[in-house]
């Protein structure tokens, strides 16, 4: 079963169980997926769906920090609930050691000449770690690995 089918089934189950919060979040996700399909005239793959979910998770995290800074705990709680639903669709996160090993392998593969080749290394790493690691943290590891060479 593809990720898109799983999300559709979860939406149906949330309707039957009358889980309004979960249903709302899944509807936001399906709307974003349909928008991407219409805009780009493509059938979404699991990788594309994961990219959409990652983007939505990042948006929720940013909103949570903004709402908490503004003293709006009610809105922050709503965003946290949406974050939990969205995170359930992400694959299991890799450990720090596994991420470091992937970064080292990518650096060895690309053999960067300096900081200007960071984009090339990040492209390789992103393809390998898509959806399983926080790319901002990975970016720091890549920078450090390139600097050591």
Residue 113 has pLDDT above 80, yes or no: no
The CA distances from residue 144 to 45, 138, 147, in Å, are 33, 10, 5
Record: fold of 96-148: Arc Repressor Mutant, subunit A (1.10.10)
The CA distances from residue 63 to 54, 57, 76, 118, 132, in Å, are 14, 10, 7, 29, 22
Quote the pTM value. 0.77
Where does 3-87 sit in CATH, by number?
A: 1.10.1510.10
As annotated, the residues of the chain forming the CATH 1.10.10 domain(s) are 96-148
Tens-digit pLDDT profile for residues 22-73: 999 999 999 999 999 999 999 998 889 988 998 999 999 999 999 999 999 9
For the chain, the average pLDDT equals 90
Q: What percent of the chain has pLDDT over 90?
A: 54
Element (H, E) at 73: helix 73-87
As annotated, the residues of the chain forming the CATH 1.10.1510.10 domain(s) are 3-87
């Amino acid at each position: 079963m593809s990720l898109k089918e799983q999300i559709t089934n979860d939406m149906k189950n949330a309707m039957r169980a009358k889980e309004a919060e979960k249903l709302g979040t899944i509807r936001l996700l399906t709307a974003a997926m349909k928008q991407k399909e219409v805009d780009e005239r493509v059938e979404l793959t699991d990788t594309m769906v994961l990219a959409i979910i990652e983007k939505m998770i990042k948006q929720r995290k940013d909103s949570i920090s903004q709402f908490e800074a503004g003293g709006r705990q009610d809105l922050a709680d709503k965003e946290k609930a949406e974050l939990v639903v969205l995170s359930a669709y992400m694959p299991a996160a890799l450990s720090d050691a596994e991420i470091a090993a992937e970064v080292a392998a990518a650096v060895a593969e690309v053999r960067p000449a300096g900081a200007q080749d960071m984009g090339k290394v990040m492209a390789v790493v992103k393809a390998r770690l898509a959806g399983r690691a926080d790319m901002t943290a990975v970016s720091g590891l890549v920078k450090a690995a390139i600097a050591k060479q």
